[in-house]
Amino acid sequence: MTADGLVPGQPAEPLHARRLVVIWAVLTVVAVPVVVLLLGPHLPPGNLSDEARDQRHVNIVLAALATPVLVGVWVYFVYTLAAFRQRGAALEDGPPLRGHTGTQVTWVVATGAIVIALAGWGTYELLGPAKGAGGGQGPDPLAVPKDAKSALQVQVIGQQWSWTFRYPGYGAFETPQLAIPAGRVVELHVTSLDVNHSFWAYELGVKADAIAGTDNVAFVRARHAGSFEIRCAELCGLWHGHMRTTGVVLSQPAFAAWVRGQEAANAAATKVLPPYSSHYFPKPLRRAG
Amino acid sequence: MKRARHRTATPVPPAAAPPAGEQVAPARRRPIGLNALTALALGVGGYALGHWVGSRIAIGMDSQTATDQDDIAIFMGFVFAVAGWLLGLGFLSYPLSRMAGRPPALREKEDEGPGRYFRLCTDHKVIGMQYFVTVLFFFLIAGLNGMFIRAELLTPNESLWNAGQYLSLVGLHGTMMLIMMSAAVLGPFGNYFVPIMIGARRMAFPRLEALSFWLVPPAGLILLSAVAFGGFPTGWTGYAPLANEARGGMDAYIFAFALIGISMTIVGVNMLATVLTMRAPGLTWDRMPIFVWGVLCTSVLMVLAAPVLFSTLAMATLDRTVDTSFFLASAGGSPFLFDNLWWFFGHPEVYILALPGFGIVLEILPVFSRKPLWGYRLAVAGMVGVTLLSFMVWQHHLFVSGMNSDLRPFYMLTTELISIPTGFIFLNGMGTLWRGRIRFTVPMLFSLAFFSNFLIGGLSGFFLSDVPSDVTTHGSYFVMAHFHYTILGGLVFAFFAGIYYWLPKMTGLSFNERLAKLHFWGMFVFFNLTFAPLFAAGLLGMPRRVSTYAPRLQGLNDFVSISAFLLGLSMLVFVVNLVYSMVIARVPAESNPWHSRGLEFQVPTPVPVKNFEQTPLIQSGPYDYGVPDAPPVAALSPPARVAPAAGGG
């Protein structure tokens, strides 16, 4: 692809282009399976949710596509630098090649085709099978999973410097622990009380910015019980690096029990909370200084 | 009578101009001249005065006086400081003379001696050298901040710095690098070589050119002064509303970045006007050096993007000083407004950094392959394509921000489309090497490394442009590694290629090649060892801009930190080489050490004040290596009145 006949070869050295293609093809045939089969299963973010799995799938495809390009350009550079280096100290000029229409057209068409195909496939994945793949989609999500109507609603509230979670389906109690049931679509409503944060549940494959005044919706469906790391992924001030906690995926009965316990434990506090809303403005933002 | 003394400079014939940097006694003594020292004194005095004025203005404004750091006073201080600085340099001499009814003094260009490097001087070559030293100085400071960051990350918990100091280091490193690297190529090499490459005697607006430079040192110093105000917590992006609640260091950040915005706009206007109107006869569009194309495209980006930066920062200033609420959701504003305005500037800014790098490497490859630039028109198309597309991709920084989700496929498409024109640059480079006579000089090594680094940076961009993949990589060390591969691996490698290629022409002195090669190999190897593992760190869940991370990532981070220190050491090799070659050894360089066809290498070293005795007549393209019977690139003393009109095209 990269090396194919940059010039109509002169009779003295006719084989460079062919050699390059062969080296590139051999290395690609070796490297792509290595990337897909050996590296692929270890690519993040893992297997805990449908969304994480979809992301991994996309990452494997992109890695498989990037490998031949990387190998091709590197092979080309190493080969040409070795083959066409100036031997001896004499200063001599190379052939005055100014370009080759066929090669240029091929290159433009090939890169254009790869790029358009990638964008088309990416859009199909995003809106089709991957259903947004865990990213924050704003108040009007476009890619909605099949069972979204029966989704568990969880509000994620970022503030300097902690995360809290409200469960509007259960009296809208607020808790610093995030638990979600396995096998059920969860609709996360991410918002902030102060500056921009970003809710990043790494193993779940969820990231959604928390911005004051905005209801940022992300969907996730955990596949099995487990735990996941929650971090803030948008610089939010002094203790940004400490804004982390661990969330859990529970089996459905365990989740039901957990929710009942939380509801009871937080009953007193829930009474004095502001009514559930897509966003809150608890205090005017004043200077910290 | 300060003014009178300044005006007494008499024109000196070009032949008498001493070589740059050589110790020559100044022709006249200026006990109280208008120079950088006067400017610094007036700048500091101006800050004190402005701070006092600002604190009087703020009386009665609770939001200001209730805090221990009064933003109005700080901003007014900076405004007066810059005014004092420019007054001290003599920028106001012209309007002041006119107001006093005196004939204005415009003799800066004929200045001579080493002192001219510390004064307002309108010689584009002097400005190029001033830019070079200034940018390099701040680049090294910003790099040192990077070392401090990596030292903290040796352990998973806070150790060396507290959280506030760490964030300030991150912000200073990023902001300083961004504002200095925006000027790294256009400042030194653009100002010095663009007029020579196009056969002109000066830039279109020499005094604006001087102004664009003299805004850079106060911007750098004001940014550093953020430390004195307690630093700033936002990183280089300065996101509101975090910026609204930050302390006085934020004012320094905003003011410094806005100054650079002004400087960038001026540079862009000046370069555009120069390239469009001042090309020598015969320099048609298809004979223009590709570096000049890179500068031209960058200038377009600067003229269109930098005013957006300035406006955004002006809005942030109003939010901080007079309690407007552009970016405060609780008072009817929107944090999204800042995000979008910021990246509308911020993404073209990325190409403001990349395009001059493309220009430099494509300028250098033909010289050391001894072949014409392969696919010249495609290279130009690539640069123009990048320029146009760069304004249509900015929301890929906001894929998970909660922006309108219908827009995401569009920005995914435009982001991926931009790799097509970028791919042209690769094809040009690869085609130029084909069947060449490749010589591995130091500038060539840096140019070749550019392609390897930028390739990795570009391919990692594919992951970031694809929304599902971006969900994990956004805001992580993956992004951080990606843009270090494109900016440090791309632009900074090209910057060093330019230094080794052109500095011998600028100073008339050659580099020590052994040290230069040591610098290259150290930088290339340890750059890759530093940033390649950071892709993994990001994929494994490490967010950017944190001083604490999961203990499982400590091994990886320690490896990166040690590589980063060795990368820093390679920079030290460069500094040693620079001082040794330019100050101690002083081996004279040939006038055309690389046997280049470029017009800038056809003029004598040191370059005369007027560059050319007469306007040269361009006869052929700059890359006609190996072309039988190719005429010299230009006739430097063409017979009078045969020159055709300046190139169309």
* Model pLDDT for residues B421-455, shown as the tens digit of each residue: 999 999 999 999 999 999 999 999 999 999 999 99
pLDDT value of position B110: 58
Mean pLDDT of B466-491: 94
Interface of A with B in 113-172 (CB under 8 A): 115, 118-119, 122-123, 125-127, 130, 132-143
Angle at A280 between CA A278 and CA B471, to 5 degrees: 55
Percentage of chain B beyond pLDDT 90 is 73
Q: Which residues contact B96 (CB under 8 A, 6 or more apart)?
A: none
Type of residue at B23: Q
Instruction: Kindly state whether A234 is in contact with chain B, defined as any CB-CB distance less than 8 angstroms.
Output: yes
Would you say residue B9 has pLDDT above 50?
Answer: no
Nearest residue on chain A to B238, alpha-carbon basis: A235
Query: Under a CB-based contact definition with an 8 Å cutoff, are residues B302 and B273 in contact?
Result: no
Whether the CB of A229 is below 8 Å from some CB of chain B: the reply is yes
Q: Do B469 and A62 touch (CB under 8 A)?
A: yes
B358-387 mean pLDDT: 95
Identify all chain A residues contacting B399, using CB atoms and an 8 Å cutoff.
135
Contact B545 A241 (CB under 8 A): yes
Q: Would the pLDDT of B630 be above 60?
A: yes
Q: A231, B459: Cβ pair inside 8 Å? A: no
Tell whether A86 lies on the interface with B, counting CB pairs under 8 A. yes
* Nearest CA-CA distance, residue B136 and chain A, Å: 29
Q: Report ipTM for this prediction.
A: 0.92
Decide which of B293 and B100 is more confident.
B293
- Point out the residue among B246, B401, B474 whose CB comes nearest to the CB of A211: B401
Contacts of B241 in chain A (CB under 8 A): 194-196, 212, 285
Strand order in the sheet with A216-221: A173-175, A162-167, A152-159, A185-192, A216-221
For the stretch B137-175, pLDDT in tens is 999 999 999 999 999 999 999 889 998 999 999 999 999
- Give chain A positions within 8 Å (CB) of B474: 198, 207, 233
Judged by a CB distance cut-off of 8 A, whether residue A214 touches chain B is yes
Are the Cβ atoms of A135 and B413 closer than 8 angstroms?
no
Burial class (CB in 10 A: 0-12, 13-18, 19+), B60: exposed
**What residues form DSSP beta bridges with B509?**
B588
B32 confidence band (pLDDT: 50, 70, 90): low
CA distance B166 to chain A (A): 9
Structural element, H or E, at residue B476? none
Helix (H, G, I), strand (E, B) or coil at A204: coil
pLDDT for res B18: 43
Per-residue confidence at B68, pLDDT binned at 50, 70, 90? confident
Measure the CA–CA gap between B501 and A125, rounded to whole angstroms: 47
Strand residues in A182-271 grouped as ranges (E):
185-192, 197-201, 206-210, 216-221, 226-232, 245-250
B91: Cβ contacts below 8 Å, ≥ 6 apart: B120, B207, B210, B211, B214
What pLDDT tens digit does each residue of chain A (289 aa) get? 344 444 544 445 568 989 999 999 999 999 999 999 999 888 888 899 999 999 999 999 999 999 999 999 999 999 999 999 988 888 888 899 888 999 999 999 999 999 999 999 999 988 888 777 889 999 988 888 888 889 999 999 999 999 999 999 998 999 999 999 999 999 999 999 989 999 999 999 999 999 998 999 999 999 999 999 999 999 999 999 999 999 999 999 999 999 999 999 999 999 998 899 988 876 655 554 3
Tokens of B538: 């990001």
- Whole-angstrom Cα distance, residue B216 to residue B138? 10
> 3-state DSSP call for residue A289?
coil
Q: Give me the residue from B331, B404, B437 closest to A92, CB to CB.
A: B437
pLDDT tens track for B179-225 = 999 999 999 999 999 999 999 999 999 999 999 999 999 999 999 99
Enumerate the residues of chain A whose CB falls inside 8 A of the CB of residue B471. Answer: 51, 55, 133-135, 205-207
Closest residue in A to B422 (Cα) is A111
Q: What is the pLDDT of residue A1?
A: 39
Residues comprising chain B, all counted: 649
Note the pLDDT of residue B8: 38
Helix (H, G, I), strand (E, B) or coil at A145: coil
Give residue B648's pLDDT band: very low, low, confident or very high (50, 70, 90).
Answer: very low
Q: Is the pLDDT of residue B590 over 80?
A: yes
Q: What pLDDT sits at residue B6?
A: 42
CB contact under 8 A, B595 and A91: yes
Q: In chain B, which residue's Cα lies nearest the Cα of A215?
A: B402
Q: Which amino acid is at B628?
A: P
> Residue B307 pLDDT more than 70?
yes
Q: Quick one: pLDDT at residue B106?
A: 59
pLDDT band at B640 (very low <50, low <70, confident <90, very high): low
Query: Which residue shows structure tokens 């203005």?
Result: B57
DSSP 8-state code for residue B646: B
Inter-chain residue contact B419 with A103, CB threshold 8 Å? no
